[in-house]
């Protein structure tokens, strides 16, 4: 399984963060239209993601109680007809989350500026472990400092749980 270090913070708007991303020359990768359908599973979370017309199945397990949000995950790319209808028919749907995501990359860290239907605006960071957890933490702390993020305001849960409230 792959591993990320993650952070999620609710924002009023994206202006300040966009200015900082431009200042540090973060690479803008584009806009992603995402629909995540979460299914009931034992241990972890399972979602079917439709992203710009393509599908992937994502399973992940994350310590929501810990000081650091390490996430272990697997992504399976799907190809075929009626993917969404098939999964909804055979699995129990817990929640559906629709969002528009502006994606930036800075030293391997994915910076998401998400507008989530029914919830609002959020920033998410995902720093992948490539050379070990310690190295990932250094990159993670660097982007937090560069974006001047208040980690005390982080939300330690999935959009799935926020939308279900």
Asked whether the predicted pLDDT for residue 43 surpasses 90, the reply is: no
Q: Give the pLDDT score at 64.
A: 77
CA atoms within 13 A on the CB side of 130: 9
pLDDT at 164: 84
Q: Does domain 2-159 have CATH number 3.40.220.10?
A: no
Contact 159, 116 (CB under 8 A): yes
Percent of the chain residues past pLDDT 90, beyond the cut: 92
Stated pTM of the model: 0.94
Query: For residue 17, is pLDDT > 90?
Result: yes
Mean pLDDT across the stretch 57-83? Answer: 91
């Amino acid at each position: 399984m792959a591993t990320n270090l993650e952070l999620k913070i609710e924002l009023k708007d994206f202006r300040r963060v966009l200015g900082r991303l431009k200042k540090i020359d973060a690479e803008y990768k584009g806009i992603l239209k995402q629909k995540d359908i979460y299914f009931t599973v034992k241990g972890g979370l399972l979602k079917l993601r439709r992203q710009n017309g393509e599908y992937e199945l994502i399973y992940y397990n994350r310590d929501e109680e810990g000081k650091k949000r390490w996430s272990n995950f697997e992504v399976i790319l799907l190809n075929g007809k009626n993917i969404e209808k098939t999964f909804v028919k055979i699995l129990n749907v817990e929640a559906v989350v629709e969002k528009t995501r502006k994606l930036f990359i800075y030293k391997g860290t994915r910076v998401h500026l998400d507008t989530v239907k029914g919830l609002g605006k959020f920033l998410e960071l995902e720093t992948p472990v490539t050379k070990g957890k310690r190295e990932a933490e250094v990159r993670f702390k660097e982007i937090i400092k560069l974006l001047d993020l208040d980690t005390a305001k982080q939300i330690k849960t999935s959009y799935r749980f926020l939308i279900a409230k």
